[in-house]
Structure 1
Amino acid sequence: MLLRLKACKLEFVWLVLIGLTLFSVLFAENNQTKLSICLVMIAVSLKGQLVIDRLMGLNNARPTIRGLMLAYFVVVPVLITLTSLFPEFLASVIQI
């Protein structure tokens, strides 16, 4: 019974991941607006957290390891979002 419950939860996580992936693909292929980029980056962050916590099983790992893994899926999408929202400002700040 317990194994069946765990399998059900795992199947649900897979369905959510597939749904978020399809959501990302639809927005990325149809729209190139700043809002769509932000929504796709939110989906990427959610997918990363699901993979880290549910599929990799790091929800019970040491806080340092889990925190570093989660930070990647927060920092990178935030940087991509900022780059798409403020390209001119970032280009002026990071001139070589």
Structure 2
Amino acid sequence: MTKPGAGYGNVPPEADRGPLEPTAARLGGDADPAPAGWPRFLRRGPMEMVASILIAAGVVMLMQPFAIALYSWSFLVTLIGTVMFLVVSHFPK
């Protein structure tokens, strides 16, 4: 039986960390700052917004009942927005 306040088994509580728990150096802060030559418009925030707008525009194009041309292009626009969002989510902040 372990004492109250003791770690798991014979391991003291301060050393009782799982293998997937991040180290103290990785906690907080900006993990991946933007490179010095990285253009401001290619940062993650603005590009994710563009990708989200493309996805929303594709869905609106899919649901509108007026123009067959918009309906025809809706899947491609939604797909481009989705792929763009996946790629952009790996950009630096």
- Quickly name the TM-score band, shorter chain normalised: 0.3 to 0.5
What is the TM-score when the length of structure 2 is the normalising length?
A: 0.41
Larger RCO (CA under 8 A, 6+ residues apart): 2
Name the structure where helix makes up a greater proportion of residues.
Answer: 1
- Larger radius of gyration, structure 1 or 2? 2
